[in-house]
Every structure is written in structure tokens, then in C-alpha cells.
Amino acid sequence: MTRSTALKFLLSALTIVIPSIAFSQANYKIGFIVRAIGDTSGGLIDLKEWEKTPQTIHFKKDETSKPEKLGLEELQAFGISGNGFFEKHTVNITLGAMRMAGLSEEKDTTSETRTIFLEVIEKGKNVSLYSYTDKIKTRFYIQKPGIDTGPEELQYYPYLENRKVRGAEIFANKLHLLALANGVNSSKLIGRLQSIQYTKKDILNVVREINGPQENTRRKEKTSASRFFAGAFLSTSPLIYKGDDPLAKDGTTHTSAFLPGISLGYDSFVNKHVQKVVLRLAGAVSLQRASTNETSYYINTFDYRTTSHDLEYLHISFNPQIIYNVYNQAQFKTFLAAGFTLSRNVYLENEYRGAYGSKKTDEDLGMRKAFLSYSAAAGVQVKKKIECYIKYSPSLELVSSTRYSTSIRQISVGMNYLFK
């Protein structure tokens, strides 16, 4: 296996392994539990990248305690500071699909009753909003104060009619009747209900309008699901020859400077509360300069002659990555990253000088300008704002012929500022 093939295999493996690890490592945060007998205890709860509403948790009283696995039998409720509050309820659950692939021209009204944990989205004076997500879909529930029958599902039975999804009128009408019962019927509310989608954002906006201004309403700590960043880096890219060319001989010298570049990008968290796995889109522009020289002694002329290739170019790249925070605390993180890179070179200087005075320029050399490659990086994040890293990109083949090949590989050291 060649070095290039091995690196590609490693990077491909990282893109699979990194998300998998994210779901298995412990990430304890300050929280509390309410046991089935009514006792409330503070402690630490293992916060995961939950795609479904959690029905079991791992809890420990302090850092040194052995964790307990607790679920519906042991708990009435639990909460994680700034990261969600969950209550146990016995509710009706609709089972019909919501994705286009599972829809038909008839409403699927099948349902069943379960005792589950619901996530509390909003506690209000007129209505409270909950949600529950399983492998089928996300459902939303409402409850009026003083009602002991438990939260009621906002039923949504989507179906296809002339290739369009219908069915939103059921839960929209339910919310409208609830608003009227609480004396709310503004034009703003009517507008929201006419275009409402079965999403957390749309339903929460309506619920908050029904509840009106509430100084004491419990609000979850605002945590952004994304961020932007900007940074600067230094990078170097040695120019390497292989095959039948004087610059591929033993003793060839390679010179490349560490030159500046700038980067801009956007991060999206798989789970904004945990922030263990990050999907990154990054763009960068850097100046690169490299020189390769070989000096040989020619016995027929009794002198030394030098072959050289001087290269200077702008390197423009787009680099989607998966970032995994190996150590993940609010004020300090260490991370690994893997991704692929689409890039383009704009050649500013490109000159090959042969030993006998021949000269080739950009057009003669026919170097590639566009590339697809891989990247790997490691670094640290400090104080939620500063990120320092080192990144490696494997060989980019500039010229490939039956006789020889020319390639570069890039090593970068940089710093990013993270905008929250």
C-alpha cells in the first residue's frame, strides 16, 4: 500500500469513526433528577448527541461517584442546566409517517398510548408546549394549566393530494381554538396559522403569542446551533519530482517558505448543547512559493550545471470537514478533523530551467489547476473564541506523464477566531 493510498484510507476511516465515537463517550453536565418517589437530587447527567428524545440517562452525584442508569421506572423528570428539561407523561402517540417517501393519498391515523419522557419546550401561563421524537418522527404536545389528563398531541396526519402534502389544518385549527379561548386573535396570529408548518419554530411562535408577555416564563438558555469564523494561517508546500527527470535525483534540494493565508467559514453543531461533533464549511486563500534545485557534474565539460524549477501561486480552496472534540469542556477543547478539499491554483511564477539553458514556462509545463484531495487536522479551542490547529493535505499531482510526475503537499499552522 502506497503512502497516498494509506492516507486516503485513514481519512475515510476517520469520517466514519469520528461520529460513531461521539455517541459513546461520556459528557457529564450539571443537572438534576426527580425520582419516582418525588425526591429531587442535583448532580451530573451524561449529555449525548440525542437524535431521539432520551428515555434513559446516566446520572451521578459528583465527579467521583459511580454513574446510575435511570429511566421511566426510576424518574418523574430530569433536567440538564441550559440543555433541556424532560417530564414523564402517559400520552397518545400517532404512528403515521411524515416523510414524503412514506406518505400515501390516505390519512394514517394509527396511534397507541405510551408512558414516555417529553421534552419541555415552553411552560406558559395559558399553554405549555412539549415534544417527543422517536425513529418515526417528531410530535408536539400542548397542555393547559391545571389539566391533569396529560399533554395532548397536536395531531398532524399528512397525506398526498395532487402531489402536494396536505393535513396541516388539523393542528392549525387546534391552536386557533386555543388562542380564541385565551382572547388572542390578532392578524399576526392569523397570518402565522395560515402558513404554519409542523416544526418547533412555527408552533413555538404561535404558543408564545397565545401566552403573551411573561416575565416569569421559564426559558432555556439560548445556545446557537451554528457559528462563523475567520482566521489566518501559515502554510508551506514543497515541490516534489518523481520519475525520469533531473529534479527527481537523489540530492535534489527542496525549498518552500511558510507564507500567509486567510480563511473564512461556517460551523454547524450536530447537537448545539453538546457541541462534540461539528460540521464545518471552510474556504481559504493562500500564497505558496516553492523551489526545487539539482546540481550535477558533467565530465565532458568539467563543470557543474543546475536544473531548477521555481513556482509561486495562489492556492484557493473549499474544505468541508467533520470535527470531533476529543476533550470537550466549555472553556477548552481538543479536536481532530477530517474532510476533503476542492482547490484551484492560480500560477504567478512557473519556470523550469534545464541544465543546458533550456527554459519551460507555464504553458510549456501544462500543470493542472484544479484538484480534489483530502485533509486531516488537529488542534485546540480556548475560551470559546480562539482555535489553533495544524492541518495536512496529501500530495496534489500537478503534472503526470509516462516519464515523470510533479506534486505538492501542504502543511498549515493557523488560528481562527470563532464568532458566537
The structure's pTM equals: 0.62
Class of domain 223-419: mainly beta
How high is the pLDDT of residue 22? 47
The dihedral through the CA atoms of 129, 133, 139, 143 has a sign that is negative
CA 228/CA 385 separation, integer angstroms: 11
Question: What pLDDT does 272 receive?
Answer: 81
**pLDDT on residue 83:** 83
DSSP string for 9-65: HHHHHHHHHHHHHHTTS--EEEEEEEETTS-EEEEEEE----SS--S-EEEESSTTS
Q: Given this model, what pLDDT does residue 157 score?
A: 82
3-class state of residue 192 by DSSP: helix
Is residue 412 within 8 A of residue 391, CB to CB? The reply is yes
Give average pLDDT by consecutive 10-residue segment, the chain, 420 residues: 50 52 67 93 90 94 92 95 91 82 71 95 93 94 84 86 73 91 89 90 94 62 82 94 88 89 95 87 95 79 80 95 90 94 93 85 85 94 95 87 87 94
- State the pLDDT at residue 1: 45
Domain residue ranges of the chain, discontinuous segments joined by +: 24-211, 223-419
Q: What is the pLDDT of residue 18?
A: 52
d(CA 139, CA 94): 8
State residue 8's pLDDT score.
52
Q: Report the b/e string of 27-63 with b at 16+ CB within 10 A.
A: bbeebbbbeeeeeeeebbbbbbbbeebbbebebbeee
Contact at 8 Å (CB) between 175 and 153? no
Q: What is the pLDDT of residue 317?
A: 95
CB neighbour class for 312 (10 Å; exposed up to 12, middle 13-18, buried from 19): middle
Q: Provide the pLDDT for residue 101.
A: 60
Instruction: Say what the pLDDT of residue 284 is.
Output: 97
The whole-number pLDDT of residue 266 equals 97
Closest CA to 46 of 69, 27, 72: 27
CA-CA distance, 220 to 204, in Å (whole number)?
Answer: 13
